[in-house]
Chain A
Amino acid sequence: MFLKELCELDGVSGNEKKVREYIIEQLKDKADDYKIDKIGNLIVRKKGMDGNILGVPKVLLCAHMDEVGLFITEITNDGFLKFQTVGGIDPKILVSKTVVCGNEVPGVIGSKAIHLQKPEERKQILSIEELYIDIGAVSKEEAENIVKLGDYVAFASRFERLGSGFNKAKALDDRAGCSVIMQILNNQYRCDLVGAFTVQEEVGLRGSKVISNYLEADLAIVVEATMAKDLAETFEEEWIVELGKGPACSLMDSATIYNPELIQKVAELAEKLDIPLQFRRGTTAANDAGNIHQAGRGIPLITLSIPCRNIHTMSSLIAMQDYENCLKLVHSILENIQVFCSNT
């Protein structure tokens, strides 16, 4: 499993190089070939076994390499860094967190101390404009020696095990998906595999737009992490997904309506093999599937997601059994590929 290493690498949207290099390093001896396209997507190919004269189906496996983060937009005269968010980040989670700027420069996100705040200020949520990154520089010149405008900032957060089977880390969305696909690419199936590790998903599905211009497949499986809201004070109908109940099969999101017959096939296979499966009971947000299913003449597609609490924060949480069951389900779909590529 590659999850710990993947999550601890920094790869904010547009700056996925370290993640890409790690994946290449791990897969280059297992796959048949790989290439990096012009926007930075990594495409890894692995031939299927027993190709008959008519060939074997081609299956596209997709996960995005990028994570949400920050971007330096200004260095103040005092040597503080002002920033913007990259991808969907709630400003409420940022205050006093540790970060890594540019070339491994540690920093903390500062704001006015509680002692200095007026009573009404204590009730207000701090906006991005009121926050700054403190890298311990005492002047603009000192700061400019180690960071520059446009440097990316990632959350500093180690991968840790919590309780009996939970993992906490940053970037589980979507390094969990990358890790599943990397494990799958270690195996060989009766279908050709194309692993697409995409860039810039978090800023609007941009990497997958490019692969949609040149990749074709008989089936695509997008492996994602998705938001769990299984908390006691929310209504059950708003939970979206629950941790520990298995991977979630998407029904509809803001970019894709998933094919009901394919969903049914996934559900039947999971039931037959006793793999827990839930449905993603929310229809907001989008993922690379939005571009891929509309690629060329269209690609039949499913999305399987690992439920994730505190998604898009430095403290995301998944249940390892969900990860394992997601891996098992993707593996089983590929083992039974004829069921999924027959009449689609």
Chain B
Amino acid sequence: MPNMQQTKTKMPELEPAYRASCFEEVAVGYSEEDAVNEAKRCLNCKNRPCVSGCPVNVRIPDFIAAVAEGDFERGYEIITVTNSLPAVCGRVCPQESQCEGKCVRGIKGEPVGIGRLERFCADRHRTHGDVKKEKITPDKEKVAVVGSGPSSLTCAGDLCKLGYDVTVFEAFHTAGGVLVYGIPEFRLPKSIVSYEIDGLKDMGVKFVLDSVIGRIMTVDELFEEGFKAVFIGTGAGLPGFLGIPGENGCGVYSANEFLTRVNLMKAYLPEYDTPIKKMKKVAVVGGGNVAMDAARCAKRLGAEEVYIIYRRSEEEMPARAEEIHHAKEEGVIFRLLNNPTKINTDERGNVVSATVIKMELGEPDASGRRRPVPIEGSEYDIELDAVIVAVGTTPNPLIRMTTPGLETNRKGCIVTSDGVTTSREGVFAGGDAVTGAATVILAMGAGKQAAEKIDEYLSSKR
């Protein structure tokens, strides 16, 4: 008999006032009792709508059934057949628009907490399971993976399991891509990312850090070095700006710069040399997860007033519901249907305020969302000392600038024929480098598909 409790089993969380002062993970995670209780809410539907909502087709009802029986390790094994980074996905996937969005239990009440259960299985495995992965001796060709974010890690892991000799090239001094420079510690502890990367290393994947492909070696030179296929998972790292006056003032940052200083360069820890401005009043422009992350980081660094300025309404916000909820709990002030038109600076170029215009929603635009229209004469100023721009990113131009014959589109995204196969023979791509900024799980799905295609391609050449 399933547990007919209408709402999800409550996720234990740190108190908002406490957590807004530190970088500890906000959601503490389910206990075994919580997990079993939540797993029993699953109806084990025959047609499995949840699975169709998952970009990597995790066998959701099966792993949940294992959890309900208390066989947590089996639950983990079922997940990892199709998802190599469950501890990450359980934390950062937009479940409400994917698996949980399709859950039958969501029609009357809340859907099953699939993400929370996935995270539980992964965390329990990490703390209880047999952690050391066995080394695989490669018996197939050398493959280069460029970038070390979610698509690359997935692709590298899958190729390694198939017997390929895989080398990952990362530009930064730490592997993990957006998982380490972008997503903050309080949402995704970095120890989890390094655990996953250590697992790949145990299996035999090689990581070469500090290597900007396109500069130290081009894609063509990788082939000359003996790599038989190349996967490009370089993400969408080039920050967009607003194009309004005052944007080059001191105290205006891209979310990338701000988050990198905080997350990768650990500006919040005193033993690190990274400087970060003391901010009192901060506005973050944008409505996605990156905007929420930046706002919550600013709060944790001691800002007294933190605003989210977003030109549409909450309904159109691309951020996960949970992030919006957490940001509000932590005291972030939402100025929705507002759009900055000018950043004002003093004579030394420092930000002093932003001029903001109020908006109203008009007809739906190309994205299907209602288009925001400025309300004439509604401008007002918000006193600020910092502005963080989180209005999206586009793919980095380095690879396309240095790889002749690699077709890219108007937005700089790599063009593929089937999602992962590029216009250059032996070159595959996936994740944000192909789609433009999207989600961790979609990138992982592409990494997985690319591994299959690379295997097909290299097998056909033998």
A binds B: no
